[in-house]
Amino acid sequence: MAGIEEVSEALQKGKAKVVKELVQELVDDGVDAKKILNEGLLFGMSVIGEKFKNNEVFVPEVLVAARAMNAGLAILEPKLAEIGNVSVGKAVIGTVKGDLHDIGKNLVSMMLKGAGFEVVDLGVDVGAEQFVERAEEVGADIICMSALLTTTMSNMKSTIDLLNEKGKRNKYIVMVGGAPVNDNFAKQIGADYYAADAATAATVAKQAIAQ
Ligand code: B1M
């Protein structure tokens, strides 16, 4: 049986196919999906993140590691997000304009699905107009924005400003998150909620809908 550490090592080497196979093997052997996520995929990505910070690896290596991470996540998704029959609400989610980081956003999306939300994923580099237009089109209850760069987090405010301009701010719950974001920043830009991680995001979204 494959070990979880092998997943982490293959991810760090950017071997997407191997990660996919190893994760599948572990799932088939009955290993808990959250354990594979935390101790295999997220641990491997945190090692890469630290090396990136210290200039020991560079963008191409991080990119292939991220691809491997997404390949593993795709296998875990059905396990992490066993969608219930009844939708608790509809969410649109995306990474803000200028920002291409999608791993955290994908995790939040999965956890929301697991909590019973219908999720419309707008992808990365999503502008304010797109967030608002799609939320209107699909009849969303909640708009979820992710940002990983200090240079793009202000684009979350653009969406909130646009909602205000259109007189639609009260129609939607707005939740923000991502590594450089915090509760203070969320309050400053006028978001309703901040969540530090994907599991909290799902809990917060559910509570917000219930209110
Ligand atoms: Co980039 N990158 N990156 N990168 N990258 C960071 C973010 C950085 C911190 C690395 C560093 O310098 N230490 C740094 C940002 C510095 C800053 O702004 N303060 C950085 C930089 C500088 C850059 C570039 C500018 C590098 C360059 O080109 N010179 C460039 C920017 C490109 C762009 O976006 N325009 C860039 C590019 C890339 C890659 C493309 C190579 C790749 C992304 C691939 C992809 O996502 N498909 C990449 C990666 C992988 C990283 C690191 C290593 C890992 C990010 C990640 O996926 N973490 C990252 C360093 C790090 O974080 N240690 C780094 C795992 C993920 C699960 O965590 O996304 O934080 P995270 O999500 C968490 C929470 O934040 C939260 O839940 C998740 C976990 O439960 N969360 C939410 C996220 N969204 C939420 C939304 C919510 C609620 C919670 O509600 C809506």
The predicted structure's pLDDT at residue 82? 61
Domain 4-83, CATH 3.40.50.450 — does that match? Answer: no
Beta strands in the chain (DSSP E): 89-95, 117-121, 142-146, 173-177, 193-194
Instruction: Return the structure tokens found at 56.
Output: 């020991």
What digits encode the pLDDT tens for the residues 12-35?
Answer: 999 999 999 999 999 999 999 989
C-alpha of residue 170 to centroid of ligand 1, in Å: 30
Asked whether the predicted pLDDT for residue 63 surpasses 90, the reply is: no
**Distance, CA of 101 to CA of 19 (rounded, Å):** 20
C-alpha of residue 149 to centroid of ligand 1, in Å: 7
Q: Characterize 56-94 residue by residue with b for buried, 16 or more Cβ atoms within 10 angstroms of its Cβ, and e for exposed.
A: ebeeebbebbbebbbbbbebbbebbbeeeeeebbbbbbb
Q: Report which of residues 54 and 23 the model is more confident about.
A: 23
> Between 103-114 and 198-210, two packed helices, what is the crossing angle to 10 degrees?
50
Taking every pair of Cα atoms in the chain, the longest distance, rounded to a whole number of angstroms, is: 57
Q: What is the pTM of this model?
A: 0.86
Instruction: Return the structure tokens found at 209.
Output: 């809908």
**Distance, CA of 204 to CA of 146 (rounded, Å):** 15
> Which DSSP category does 31 fall into?
-
C-alpha of residue 124 to centroid of ligand 1, in Å: 12
What CATH superfamily is the domain 89-210? Cobalamin-binding domain (3.40.50.280)
Task: Count Cα neighbours of 39 within 13 Å in the Cβ-side half-sphere.
Answer: 11
Asked whether the predicted pLDDT for residue 86 surpasses 70, the reply is: no
Question: Quick check: do 4-83 and 89-210 share a fold?
Answer: no
The predicted structure's pLDDT at residue 83? 40
C-alpha of residue 144 to centroid of ligand 1, in Å: 17
Asked whether the predicted pLDDT for residue 205 surpasses 80, the reply is: yes
Instruction: Return the structure tokens found at 94.
Output: 């995306």
The predicted structure's pLDDT at residue 52? 84
Give the least confident one: 95-99, 109-113, 161-165: 109-113
- Decide: 56 in ligand 1 pocket, CB within 6 A: no
Asked whether the predicted pLDDT for residue 109 surpasses 70, the reply is: yes
Minimal-distance CA residue to ligand 1 atom 52: 49
> Between 4-12 and 43-53, two packed helices, what is the crossing angle to 10 degrees?
30
**Distance, CA of 109 to CA of 7 (rounded, Å):** 22
Asked whether the predicted pLDDT for residue 91 surpasses 90, the reply is: yes
- Position 56, amino acid: E
Domain ranges of the chain: 4-83, 89-210
The predicted structure's pLDDT at residue 209? 92
Q: Report which of residues 78 and 7 the model is more confident about.
A: 7
Minimal-distance CA residue to ligand 1 atom 88: 177
- Is residue 58 helix, strand or coil? coil
- Decide: 71 in ligand 1 pocket, CB within 6 A: no
Helices (H), 96-138: 103-114, 128-138
Give the least confident one: 4-13, 36-45, 58-67, 81-90: 81-90
Ligand 1: nearest atom to the Cα of 67: 47
- Decide: 58 in ligand 1 pocket, CB within 6 A: no
Judged by phi (left if over 0) then psi (alpha if -120 to 50, else beta), residue 115 lies in: alpha
What strands, in cross-sheet order, belong to the sheet with 173-177?
A: 117-121, 89-95, 142-146, 173-177, 193-194
**Count of residues in the chain:** 211
What digits encode the pLDDT tens for the residues 134-147?
Answer: 999 999 999 999 99
